[in-house]
Structures are given as structure tokens and as C-alpha cells.
Structure 1
């Protein structure tokens, strides 16, 4: 194949309607050479990505977690770590105090949940990861002791309350954080200066001898736009946001129709002709 690596988003892109990897996709990846990296780039935490690499028989691959805020190599060594400052995390939590909004906190390999409810149960089911259960005050005190912050804050709740919070955060902190509205009921909050594209470029520079032009990337949402634009062949799934489709070199079928596998198979067949 002309290209030398794949970089893909997970939710809404790589996973099918069962939120799993299709047999067709797995079988295609199995045929790729061992020195052909398959790099996952997601807003997920590392442990919510590792089981997918195991299913692809690719356990030793770098991971781009938290939209590029936490990047690790094949052996778990941290290549880059960019956090939301503790005082800003505190302000985000403070804004939600008089609402029903659910707040999840993430740092490195850890996910902190305050209570078991509809939202936390849903994330456990979707990601196949168990959180650390403790109140946010304790989590913030822990981070204060280690002089650290959050790689991601995720807020979930009623559409109207989430829309209100999005507006408040955008108005007050737009220069400091990315706000990704992955669904009407979700906001994923990340540091402003990171992206999946900058993280992939870092991975390639540190671990490989080729560059962004040699990569195929797949995505569906706003946090994939830079990635799709920056690589040699950017592919949007059919269910992608219009803004993602507008910068893609190819639009494949939707994630529920195995779009990544379809595009990958086409590119592999082209390479044989």
C-alpha cells in the first residue's frame, strides 16, 4: 500500500452499531504487516482503547488519548501530557453545582466518578472500564497535592442544561479549552493547545521514519477535522459532521455500515493493481 499507517477515531467511526469492531474490519487489519501501525486517536482514556487493540491483535501500538492530551508509546511510556489547570477544573465543577449535570474527571490512566447513576453506568457499559469512585472534592485535593489537573472533563445531562453550560464555558474560557459537543447531551472538555493532529505528528516524529502524508485517517466529529486535514488521505464516514466531510478526501459508508472497513479494503485493493 502507498500509505504506511492508519490513524482512526473510535466512537462514531471505527465501532459498529453494537459499539464493537466488525469481523470484516478485524480480518482486514490482521492482513496488514506488523510494521504497519494502527494508531487509535480518541477522546477516550487509554484503558477504554486497549481492549480494542487486543481485538485487532495489535496490543503494542501507541495511543492518542483524550483528543491528544495524553499520548503514550507502544510500551506505555508517556510521550506528551497536557492538562486543564486545577483552578479551571474547579470552576467548571462550580458552574454545575446548581444543575443536574453529571461531571466525570479524567487524568492519565484514571477515571473518577462521584456517583453511580444513568450517565456513569452508560459510560462503564460503552467503554468497558470501571472508574474510581470518590467525590470530586477528594479528587481535586489529590490533584492539588500532585500539582496536576485534568486531561479531560466530561459533562453529561439534559440538553437544555448542557446547552447553557456550553455557552457559559465558551464565553468565559474559550481561549483556554476546547469544547466538543459530541452529542446534544455531552460536552467533552480538553486543553486548547492540543489536538489529534498535533499528537499524531508527535508520535510519528518520535517513533517512526515517515510523516503525516503517509497516513490514512478516519473520523466523524469536530475533533477529527484537524486530523483529517493533516494526513495524506483523510476519510470521513457518512455519519460525520458536514464540516468533517468538507475537508475529507473520501467519504465512505457510515460507521454502522462498516465504512472504515469498506474504505480500507478499497485502498488495499488499489495498492494491488
Structure 2
């Protein structure tokens, strides 16, 4: 990578925003200055599209986003999905069949309609937007898996997140991608080949930006493909050990505005 990157890509939770889910004034200002100077800034997140407004409301302007761990590329200005790469119903059914055979007590939810809506089984525990109008309980496994899903969400009670994702990944190997971005025992499954790196690569190709010219920030295992792909991958100090292992550099923690601090040095803003 040259001295100044041509595109900035950053994870949201645990990386860009603080633990109280707020964007600091410092971070918002730095992103606005860099974007205003003509360098694209892209949010690359496991979040569904419907959760982006909580971040956009704290920024000077909405930023393009690669959502659902790479399965959805979203233009917030037009409220338009530029690309979606979901799991087809037949693949969802096969993944679910494999996992039910391997994991006792497993429960599923799916992100559908480009992650604007979520469906879940009755035993799947809802921990965040349970009362949101886009959340729907389904009565049968067939209904749950009947439409394409940009992400299949898997829980099985309290689990060690790293051990659980290894178990799930082994069960779906060759059929889908499994990763995690939380410490609560949630595994996120995408179509084969769908990662944050793949979604960001598609968007960068659209802009004519090479991977070597991308600066990327992250903190959790779902960020590993993106940080490995980018010309420069930077972990925040609070990152998972798998992210620290692949990062080219480490900046301050998310609670200390690590992304903003790094960008201030690179771009001379602040």
C-alpha cells in the first residue's frame, strides 16, 4: 500500500463504535473529513440493513455499507441494495439438516429480504430487537427455510463461541461459511464464498479500487478475511486473538477511538 489508502473499510461493533453503541464526536468528524476529501469510507459489518440507522443517525452523512458479513451491499442514499448473495432455500435446508444431526438443542433464525426482516423459531432466543415489526416468529421449520436468506443464525444455549463456531463450521464445510462476531455463542452462516472480504472486493471493483489500496479495521473473527485481503489490515487493541494474529498493525481500543486516532495520523486530520 502507498502512504495514503484509496478506500477505508471499517467494521462497526467493537471497532468503530464504543461499547455503549455510540459514535464519538471525534470519530464522526474524522470520517466526515476523509470522505469530504474524496476518499470513500465503507462500513463493513455483520449487522443487517435494518440496524444501520442507529449508526447513520450519529454520522454527518450515511456511508455505503457491506452488511450481513458480505452478503449485502447497500447504498443508503438511495436506500438501495446493490448486491445480495443469499443462501438458497435448498441450501438452507441442507445446512439445517446437518446441524440438527450434529448439535443437540440447536435453534435457528434467518435474515431475509436483504436483511430487512428476520424470522425465527420459537426456541431461538431474541436478545435485541425482539419487539421490532420486522421480527417474525414462524411455526414450522419449513416456513423458516422457505425463502432465500442472507444469513442463517444459529444458537444452542450457552456455548464457548470459538469452540462452537468450529463445530458448526465442520458440519457445514463445503456448503456454507460459518463465523462469529460476538461472545454470546451466536454463529452466523452465509452462502459458500460469502465473507466480508468478498462483499468488499465486489464494491471496490465497482469503484476501480484494488485490494492493495484498501485500509481495513476490525476486531472479531468475521473480520479476519477482510483484514487478510486488504492492503493494510488494522486491529483495534480489544480485538479477538485471531484478528490480532493477522493484522498488519494494532491501534487503540474502540473505547479510545482507535480508528479515528489511526486515521488522523494517516490523513493528517483531526
Query: TM-score scaled to structure 1, two decimals?
Result: 0.81
1:112 paired to 2:119: yes
Q: How far 1:177 moved relative to its partner?
A: 1.5
Q: How far 1:96 moved relative to its partner?
A: 5.3
Distance in 1 (alpha carbons) for counterparts of 2:262 and 2:184:
28
Instruction: Give the match for residue 123 of structure 1.
Output: 128
Q: How many residues align?
A: 261
Q: How far 1:68 moved relative to its partner?
A: 0.8
Conserved? CA contact 1:105–1:111, under 8 Å: yes
* Structure 2: stretches of 5+ with no match in the other structure: none
* Structure 1: stretches of 5+ with no match in the other structure: none
Instruction: Give the match for residue 232 of structure 2.
Output: 233
- Please give the residue correspondences for 1:44-193 in structure 2 after superposition, counting only pairs within 5 Å: 44-59=47-62, 61-74=63-76, 75-93=78-96, 95=99, 101-107=106-112, 108=114, 109-115=116-122, 119-120=125-126, 122-124=127-129, 130-135=133-138, 137=140, 140-141=142-143, 144=146, 148-160=147-159, 166=165, 169-182=168-181, 183-193=183-193
Q: How far 1:76 moved relative to its partner?
A: 3.7
Instruction: Give the match for residue 27 of structure 1.
Output: 29
Q: How far 1:152 moved relative to its partner?
A: 0.6
Conserved? CA contact 2:176–2:191, under 8 Å: yes
Instruction: Report the secondary structure of 1:159's partner residue.
Output: coil
Instruction: Report the secondary structure of 2:17's partner residue.
Output: coil
Instruction: Give the match for residue 200 of structure 1.
Output: 200
Q: How far 1:167 moved relative to its partner?
A: 5.9
Q: How far 1:12 moved relative to its partner?
A: 1.7
Once superposed, which parts of structure 1, at least 4 consecutive aligned residues long, lie more than 6 Å away? 161-165
Kindly provide the CA deviation profile for residues 79-115 of structure 1, in whole angstroms up to 9, marking residues without a partner as x: 3322223234335556559955543210212222445
| Residues 16 and 129 (structure 1), Cα distance of their counterparts in 2 relative to 1, 3 Å cut | farther
Name the stretch that deviates more: 160-169 or 224-233. Answer: 160-169
Q: How far 1:18 moved relative to its partner?
A: 0.4
Aligned with 1:13 (options 12, 15, 25): 15
Distance in 1 (alpha carbons) for counterparts of 2:201 and 2:42:
12
Distance in 2 (alpha carbons) for counterparts of 1:161 and 1:112:
24
- Please give the residue correspondences for 1:210-225 in structure 2 after superposition, counting only pairs within 5 Å: 210-225=209-224
Q: Which structure carries more helix by proportion?
A: 1
Distance in 2 (alpha carbons) for counterparts of 1:80 and 1:11:
22
- Please give the residue correspondences for 1:250-269 in structure 2 after superposition, counting only pairs within 5 Å: 250-269=249-268
Q: How far 1:175 moved relative to its partner?
A: 1.0
Distance in 2 (alpha carbons) for counterparts of 1:165 and 1:255:
26
Q: How far 1:165 moved relative to its partner?
A: 6.4
Conserved? CA contact 1:177–1:191, under 8 Å: yes
Conserved? CA contact 1:72–1:80, under 8 Å: yes
| Residues 194 and 131 (structure 1), Cα distance of their counterparts in 2 relative to 1, 3 Å cut | same
